[in-house]
Structures are given as structure tokens and as C-alpha cells.
Structure 1
Amino acid sequence: MTARVPQHLPPGASQNAPLGAAVACLLAVVVVLGGLLAWGLASGGRLAPAPATAVVETASSSE
């Protein structure tokens, strides 16, 4: 059986559907990463190095 494109769509619309889904998925990933970055900067200013520097500071101050 062949897939039939509805008559109200242009001939190339069905071929553009996967591209639109990929763009939407990529946009969602960018929004999520941007939100995490903004939350991390708002919460402390430092993202990954904060726990490591805290451990080093407490270890050096206890000596």
C-alpha cells in the first residue's frame, strides 16, 4: 500500500515533515540546555567546578 497525501497539502509537504520534526527536537534541546545554564548561573554563578573547589578549600583549611 502506498501512503496518500491529503489533497489540501502541497506535494512536498510530506517530505518536509521529518525535517520539521528534527528542527523541533533540536530547538527543544537548545531550550532545555539554555534553561539549565541560566538556572546554574542564577543559583551560584559556578556550574561544575563549585563542588570540587569546596572540597579542596575544606581539605586545605583543615591542615
Structure 2
Amino acid sequence: MDVNNIASLVTAMANQRTADAIGIAMLKKTLDIQASSTLTLIDTLQQPAAANPPHLGDTIDTSA
């Protein structure tokens, strides 16, 4: 093998390693953002949509 070919191969491998590291970092950040968004969505679902007035449901009409 030629020295230039070896140097080119090493450079390409280093560039690929850097690209892989960047891709993994972006994936981790995306997963963190999705987890945060999911927790926010779950928190909003746990709150009741609308509460009934306090007088509703106190009595049952049995004579009807």
C-alpha cells in the first residue's frame, strides 16, 4: 500500500468516527427533548378537564 492511501484511509476513519459521535449526541438530545415533552403532556392529562358544580350528584330522584 502507498503511504498516501494509508493516510487517506486514516483520515476517512477519523471523519467517520466524528460523524458517528455527532449523530449519537444529536440522538441523545432528541430523546431528552421527547422525554421532556412527554412528561409535560402527561402532566396536562392528569388535571381534570372540567369540574362539576358542587350541587350536582347530591340527590337522586326516586319518585319519577
Segment drifting more, 24-33 vs 11-20: 11-20
- Report the Cα distance in structure 2 between the residues aligned to 1:24 and 1:11, rounded to whole angstroms: 20
Q: Computing the radius of gyration over CA atoms, which structure comes out larger, 1 or 2?
A: 2
**What is the root-mean-square deviation in Å for CA atoms of aligned residues?**
1.8
% of aligned pairs identical?
Answer: 3
- Report the Cα distance in structure 1 between the residues aligned to 2:17 and 2:32, rounded to whole angstroms: 23
Does 1:42 pair with 2:34?
Answer: yes
- What stretches of structure 1 move > 3 A for 4+ residues in a row? none
Gaps of 5+ in 1: 46-63
Tell me which of the two structures has the higher relative contact order, counting C-alpha pairs closer than 8 angstroms and 6 or more residues apart.
1
Gaps of 5+ in 2: 38-64
Does 1:20 pair with 2:12?
Answer: yes
- What TM-score do the two structures reach when normalised by structure 2? 0.50
- What TM-score do the two structures reach when normalised by structure 1? 0.51
